[in-house]
Structure 1
Amino acid sequence: MVDMIKCLHICNDFLGSRVHRNLYTALSEKNLDQIVYYPQGSGTPDPSAPPPPFDVLAGEFKTSPLDRINQVRKAEKSYNSIRSNIDLNSVDIVHASTLVSNGLIAYKIFKEYNIPYIIAVRGTDINLFLRFRPDLYRLILKILQNASKIVFISQAHQRHFYKKRFIKKFTGYKELADKTKVIHNGIQDFWLINQRPLNKKNSNPCKLLYIGNFRPNKNTYRLAKAVIDIHENINNSISISFVGKGGSEEKKIRYLAKKYSFINFLGPQYNKEELFKIIRDHHIFAMVSHSETFGLVYLEALSQGLPIVYTSGQGIDGTFSFEVGRSAIPKKVSSIKESIMHCIAEYSNFHLEKIDFNVFKWSTVSANYMDLYFEVLSKNKLPISEESSV
C-alpha cells in the first residue's frame, strides 16, 4: 500500500498557463509532495504571484529555436538538468504535462530509474506533433507503451487521438485504450460560488462575448465577420465584445471596432470582478478556435448562464450529453454564423442547469489525479518495452 507520494511534474508551460499552477496548488492541499520542473526560456515568472506551495526548478539551460525541431536533443538537456538538481531516487512518480515535449523526458527517467510516469495528451500533441512529425511516431509509441496512464483533458481529444492512423494500426492499441482516462481541467471556485442560471425569458439574446488573445489560432477575425454578416443581413440588433490583447489579429479587430458600432474592443481585463460583470452583461459566449485543449473560459461563461459557440471536434465538444450551445467549423464563416443564429433562436431551450459544476472543482480534479497516482504505485512496475535512441 502506498502512503506518501513524491511527484515530479515536468511542465514546459508552467509559466504560460494558470491551469498547471492551479492543479499543483490543489494537489498540495491533498498533501502531495511535489516538485515542478520547467526549462528556462519557456516564459517569464510573474513577480506579483505569491510563492507556490510546492518546489519549483527552472532548467539550467535556455531553450533555443532548434529545440522546437530536435525534441530528442531538448529532452536530453532537460533530463541532464533534472538529474543534476533532483534526487530522482526519492521520486515515486513522474507526471508529464504533454505527450511529446514532456513525455520524452519522463520516458528517459523511466528507462534510467524505473520511475513510473503518467502523461497528459494536449492540443499541441494532437494538432502539431501527431499531424506534422511522422519522424517522431516510433518514439511517441514508446512513450505511450511505457506510460502507466494516459490522460486526456477532453473527450474530443481522446476521439481525435485514437482515430490517428498510426495509433489505430499499433498492435498495442487496446493496451493504450485500457490505460486511458479523461480528467477535465478545473475552474476557480469564484465562478462556482457565484453561479447564475440562464435567463430563459430573454426575448432577444443578441449580445455576444469573446475573451482571449488574438493569435491566428483563436480565429477572431472570422468570428467578427460572421457577426457582421448577421448584423447586415439577418439581425441588426446583434453585437459582439472582444476582451483580451496580443496576437496578429488584434489590429484587425480594433479596425472593425472603429468601423462598426456593434463591435466593441474592450482590451484586456485583469480584474476578476470586472470580468465577472462583463460576462454577466452578455448573452452568448463565442470562441471558435482552430484548436483548443479544453478552454476554461467556456466553463466560466457557462457558470454565468451563457450558452456557448465553440469549435467542432475540439476542446469542450463532447463534454456534455446535452446541448449547452452549438459547435462550429472554424474555417467556415457560414458555419460560425449558423451556430450563432442557432444559439439565439434556441436560447430558452438550453438546459445549463443540468451541468454538474462539481466535476470542474479543482478539489475534484486533484482528487482524480491522486487516485491515479495511488493506482499506478499500487501496481507492480512493468519492464521497459523495446529500447529506443532517446
Structure 2
Amino acid sequence: MFAGACNNTPSTPTSATTAATTATTTATTTASDAKEFKAAMILVGPKNDSGWNQGHYEASKYVMDKVSDVKFDYVDKVNPGDRPNVKASQVADDLISKGAKLIVFNSDDFKDDALETAKKHPNVSVIHSSGDYAWKDGKNFKNQKNLGNVMPQMEYGRMISGCAAALHSETGKIGFLGPLINDETRRLVSASYLGAQYCWQNYRKKNPEDLKFKVVWIGFWFNIPGQTLDPTKVSDDFYNSGFDVVMSGIDTPEVAVQGKKAAEAGKKVKYLHYGLKTGCNVAPEICIGVPYYNWGPAYLDQIKKAKENKFTGEFISGAPNWKDLNNADSSAVGFEKGKALTPENDKFLAEFITGLGDGKISLFKGPLNYQDGTPFLKQGETATPQQIWYFTSLLQGIEGASK
C-alpha cells in the first residue's frame, strides 16, 4: 500500500488516544464550527502509499470537494507492524470522542473493529470498506443498522488487467504478487487468471497450455519485516525467472519499482499496478495499466445520508460504469491505461471490456473447476453473487497456494 513508508515503525502507543495523536493525522476539522459534519477515516497503511490507502484518502477529498461542510480526520498506519498494541476500534473511540459522526474503516482486517464500534456507538454511522456484515443475503449478516459495507466489484477490473497482461506477455509467464489469502484475494486472483486465459486464447490465438499464471502470497497487504515475505524479493524472483509481466495485488509499488530496475538492466518486462488510478506513475514506460477503486461516489452518497439521518447500513457492491469506465462520478471500478499498452492490444482490450459490459463475455461461467479438480461451476452454470464473493479456492490452472 505504499512505497515502504509502513516500514518506519513508531514506538508502541500506550493507549488509543496516544495512537490517534501520534499517527500521521490530517486535522481538517474546526471544533468551533457547529455546522460541520465530522467524518473520520482509519487507514491500515499510510495515506500516501501509492495504492489502496491513498485511494481512500483521495476519495475523502472528493467528498469534501462536493460537500463543503463535511470535514475528515485521518489516522493511518493502523496495523500490526506499525502499531502492534492498538485496535482500530480504540482509534475509532478517540475520533468519536472528538466529534466524528461517521467512521470509515478501510481494511478487511477491521471487520470486527467496525462491528464493535457500531454496537458501542449506535448514533454514529460506520462504513467498513470490504466485509459483508451488512449483506442480508450473505453468510455473515449481523443486522446492525448503523454499519454498512462498501466494496466495488473489482473482479471486473481484475479480469481487464489479466487480459492486458496476457496480451503483452511474450514468454507466457504471468506473475501475481499477492497479499494474504482469503475469499477476496482468491476471487481477484482467479478473476485475473480468467481474463488472462480468455485473451491468451481468443486474441493471441495461443495454446492454453502455454500460459503459466503463478501467484506468490506475501502474507499481508504490504511488507511487515519479519512477518511477511519481502515483496521486493518476490518481485525480483518473478522478473529474474522469465515472468515478463507481473501484476501487483498488494498496496505498495514494489512490483513497479523492481520492474523499473529490471527494465533498466535490459529485461523486457512490464507490470500492472493495483488500486490507485495514478499507479503507473512509478514506472510509466513499462506500465500496461492499473485497475483501480473509485470510492468517492459511494462515500459521498453514504455521508449525505448520514447527515440527513437516513443512513441505514447498506451493502454496496459498486459496479463499473461500462459506458464510461473511468467516470469519477459514476464508476466504482476503473482501468487506467499505461504507456506500455500497445495500440494493437488496446483495440483487443477495448473489445474485451465491451464484451464484459454487454454480457457477451461471461467469465464466471462453467465449466470451471477449483485447483483440486472439484467443480466450481458446472457446464453452462453462471456464478451467483454469493459464489463469487465467497471464493473458497483458486481455480484450476493457477499455480500457487489456495489456503
TM more than 0.5: no
Task: Bin the TM-score by the shorter chain.
Answer: 0.3 to 0.5
Larger radius of gyration, structure 1 or 2? Answer: 1
Query: TM-score w.r.t. structure 1 length?
Result: 0.37
TM-score (norm 2): 0.36
